[in-house]
Amino acid sequence: MASPQDLSALPSQLFCEVDDVDAHSHRARAAGATIVTEPENQDYGFRSYRAIDREGHRWMFASPISGSK
């Protein structure tokens, strides 16, 4: 097995729904993650951000926007 940092291409990115994406991004940054895109509202009804953890794994975290369908 190899670390994503050792690979020449992006092998995957995980999407995870969380309760509070803004608070989550603050905790992720404090834990050493690199925030690739800051939390922002998306047209598809979620507020999301992207991050890379300290081992090089790529993540997308999101919360539904209240009142969106």
DSSP 35-62: EEEEEEE-TTSEEEEEEE-TTS-EEEEE
> Mean of the pLDDT values across residues 4-9?
71
Domain 12-64 belongs to what architecture?
Answer: 2-Layer Sandwich (3.30)
| Cα 40 from chain centre | 11
pTM above 0.95, yes or no: no
What values do phi and psi take at 25, rounded to 5?
-65, -35
Domain ranges of the chain: 12-64
Q: What is the mean pLDDT of the chain?
A: 89
CB burial string 25-56: b at 16+ within 10 A, e below? beebeeeebeeeeebeeeeeebbbbbbbeeee
**Residue 68: pLDDT band by 50, 70, 90 thresholds?**
low
